[in-house]
Structure 1
């Protein structure tokens, strides 16, 4: 990929915006922003064609075997689509095994409780990955479990979970897998010929680099048919949305027209960059350059390299008493970079995202800004407290 070309499209230097080093919303291109300057009629043929193109382009990312699936966009934030997937594909008498190792696995369990779906949770704490052997044992011990829900990339820690082995264990036991690929789809491969699942969910404002406003559920057509009557939400009924779109080409309720227009521009740019492989390669370079630079400053990552995702990375806060995260955040923002607070419960941390309209050159600027910020704060060392390193030592080998 031509990095010079990418750098010329980055909006932050031109518009005075800070880069969003977050797992989404994220920094978008000027072309994506510009696409929202026109109004669209939600019932008009032009907009229906836009919806059809959106669905077709997303399905193409599944690779061989994608013809067995269909794509259903759903209004709202990504969490709306996660809830839609759960209430539509899990029967009311079903039972779910939730694989949790962070905030989003816990949110899935909370959602199932709201929906009245029976569930159990494999809680791995803040950052340990759920493993296939554990899934296999739980499914063997509990024949009432019908579905497993896995988080592809748990952004509260930045861990990339082993969905392949989770899938193998799930289907070996004759159960069904649902994947929350909110922060990973479009940058990390999830081809159906390689990983079996019934449905996945993601959002417009993640690795496709669109803006917030809708998510999408990609599911087997057979599962979409079986979903009829499952949902206990009118607006989040995936089967009803799917049936309406296939019959009329329209969304059931007012669609986020400007967001769809922006998303199509983002999808075309995604294809031009080389699709999932190209986008994932850029994000991986972003991560590698940023992590190397931060480690040179003395920062330590929460995760071992094996589990580091190219989406977002968690760093321990330094032990130096002069390090105050609120001050670090404010000074980094003043330099043009918005980072993310940590979500760990045991030790203090912060996160730096690798996704969005950024390349390795921007990430070098990020680490340079972090160095300047530490100097301004009078922090002599970014080394974390010993307790943080002890926690990291508990990670699986």
Structure 2
């Protein structure tokens, strides 16, 4: 098999760049890997599954021997529900840390599961902090687990999982991490950040395509979780147990997606692993944010909390700005951006991940400049009320 290339390739056949938090722009090699059919019970595919699990565990650093990787069919939200339903027992209670749509989705999932929980909702602008977690845990001895979002992509906040972990384990509780949009580019080494399980997806920072997520968990937690799950198909313990015994997925696996993901993992390794991937994404963010600010756009967040995954910008106050038209004109120029997901102000998001580099991000800024001119937008500055709200909530 040919060695993967670390060169960033332009999209093929006139495809636009996907400036989203996944699905994202993938390499041609990843796409090409899906051109072969695989038998789901065949030894070759079982070997592919094991190779994938081993490669993902290697991203944990020292201490990975205490963990195992369990791929789960479906979207990232399927995998999050699988993690919550498997590792939080029916008589447990979770503290869900929310500062955007995905923390709130975990809370909604807990409602559907019928699991007791409380929510620390920090709104759109600020991360949950370790001191807050410590106080809540001190006040409520019934809480058994803390659920944290690593990167909240509705706002772009990179949450401080290290201090959240320290507060959780100092109180004798357990941490579950939704690292959906961060794993593979932001370190989550088990020797530095303690947690029982984390979840991510094929179509995020590893740069594969949609079709499955994966749960990485302590083997001791996997062993203890038998019988917890509310669902047949989302039972992480049952999937793990079957894979350990047979090497097979319990139900039809996304064979082509696994093949593509293995190619993506090879490309990830060739780029320098987590450090190399994270460095490119960080440079993408810095180049793009600087250029957009030069045009007059304002970021939702202070620099301290900007993730290298996706950045949220306020929509301009200029009456000629209409997001749907801005979106369409950016797409005409080869860039698909992402709508905002804030509850307080109008916004949009620009992703930094996928097969893109700093030169592509400079092209994004140029496209935004040209689009504003075509729309007749004289200023990209946001409404004064948006800045006042940011200042008030971030104080």
Same fold (TM over 0.5): yes
Q: Which of the residues 202, 223, 234 maps onto 1:225?
A: 223
The aligned counterpart of 2:65 is: 67
In the TM superposition, what whole-angstrom CA distance separates every residue of 1:335-365 from its partner, at most 9, and x where no partner exists? Answer: 0000000011111100000000000000000
1:366-395 deviation per Cα after TM superposition (whole angstroms, max 9, x unaligned): 000000000000000001111111122135
Does the CA-based 8 Å contact 2:185-2:277 persist in structure 1? Answer: yes
Counterpart in 2 of 1:347? 345
Cα deviation for residue 160 of structure 1 reads 0.3
Which secondary structure state, in structure 2, belongs to the residue aligned with residue 254 of structure 1? coil
Task: Check if 1:77 corresponds to 2:78.
Answer: no
Of the three residues 220, 244, 261, the one matched with 2:259 is 261
Runs of 4+ in structure 1 off by over 3 angstroms are 394-397
**What is the root-mean-square deviation in Å for CA atoms of aligned residues?**
0.9
- Output one character per residue of 1:37-75: Cα deviation in whole Å (capped at 9) or x when no partner: 000000000000000000000000000001000000000
Query: How far apart, CA to CA, are the structure 2 residues paired with 1:338 and 1:194?
Result: 36
Q: Is the 8 A contact 2:6 2:267 kept in 1?
A: no
TM-score after normalising by structure 1: 0.97
**Residues 167 and 17 of structure 1, relative CA distance in 2, 3 Å threshold:** same
TM-score, with structure 2 as normaliser: 0.98
Distance 2:149 2:13 in 1: 35
Match of 1:304 in 2: 302
CA distance in 2, matches of 1:37, 1:170: 45
How many residue pairs were aligned?
A: 391
**Could you tell me how far apart the structure 1 residues matched to 2:46 and 2:80 are?**
24
Paired with 1:273 and 1:60, the residues of 2 have a C-alpha distance of 15
* Distance in 2 (alpha carbons) for counterparts of 1:338 and 1:161: 26
Structure 2 gaps, min length 5: none
Q: Which residue of 1 aligns with 2:326?
A: 328
Match of 2:28 among 26, 30, 36: 30
Q: Distance in 1 between matches of 2:180 and 2:247?
A: 25
Aligned counterparts, 1:1-397, within 5 A = 6-7=7-8, 9-10=9-10, 12=11, 14-394=12-392, 396=394
SS at match of 2:107: helix
Deviation at 1:6, TM superposition (A): 1.8
Shift of 1:90: 0.3
